[in-house]
Structure 1
């Protein structure tokens, strides 16, 4: 499965969980955020990882990647103020065996 199919599956999965997708592939000078969604009163910045199950694609989200997502999230919030209670960073792992959702990833 390619990255585009993985992101589409992740977005569909999140919608079923009650997330409202606001943006896809949001690009900044700090990097790209795969999915920006609203869940209840929070903004959620989602990194989608895919690949072979035995390699756990989620392990490719390291401290440096999280820092870049945080910088890109701050860029988004400056350009798109919202009445949110806060934000979090999630990782959605898409493999041939299914989808796993990891909420509130931090440094």
Structure 2
């Protein structure tokens, strides 16, 4: 991955963290690496544990950011979340899987938050 793409991704995740904090979520982890995959953000919203995937784009030329969170990516996030819950001894805690789509528009972030975007259904 190029440095420009990595930089854009980091910027998008920072924007997502600020956005989620303003919405009242407590950020517990960022860029959590597990043996089975990475979770961009782990947060708490009341008694709910929220696993957040952040996707950032400069334009809509290749689709919306949230369209990049397809079935394969969702399965990877679900596996990583299951590992995290087992590792933390939190298997019984209610959880939710959100997507935060960030569009970089002239240095400004246009953010769309999709709560409960996917999960074990």
With the length of structure 1 as denominator, give the TM-score of the two structures: 0.91
Aligned residue pair count: 107
Verify the 8 A CA contact 1:36 1:44 in the aligned structure 2.
yes
**CA shift at 1:84, angstroms?**
6.7
- Alignment RMSD, CA only? 1.8
Structure 2, unmatched stretches of 5+, are: 1-6
Q: How far did 1:19 drift? A: 0.2
2: CA distance, partners of 1:84 / 1:75: 13
Deviating above 3 A after TM superposition, structure 1's stretches of 4 or more consecutive aligned residues are: 82-85
1:44 corresponds to 2:47: no
Q: How does 1:23-38 map to 2 (within 5 A)?
A: 23-38=29-44
Match of 2:99 in 1: 91
How high is the TM-score relative to the length of structure 2?
0.81
SS in 1 for 2:89: coil
Larger gyration radius, structure 1 or structure 2: 2
Alignment match, 2:3: none
Q: What is the CA–CA distance in structure 1 between the aligned matches of 2:92 and 2:113, rounded to whole Å?
A: 21
Aligned ranges for residues 1-107 of structure 1 at < 5 Å?
Answer: 2-54=8-60, 55-82=63-90, 85-97=93-105, 98-106=110-118
Contact map agreement 2:85 2:91 (CA 8 A) in 1: no
Tell me, in whole angstroms, the C-alpha distance in 2 between the residues paired with 1:53 and 1:88: 28
Query: Which sections of structure 1, spanning at least 5 residues, go unmatched?
Result: none
Rounded to whole Å, the distance in 2 between the matches of 1:84 and 1:102 is 23
Q: 1:9 to 1:79 in 2, by over 3 A?
A: same
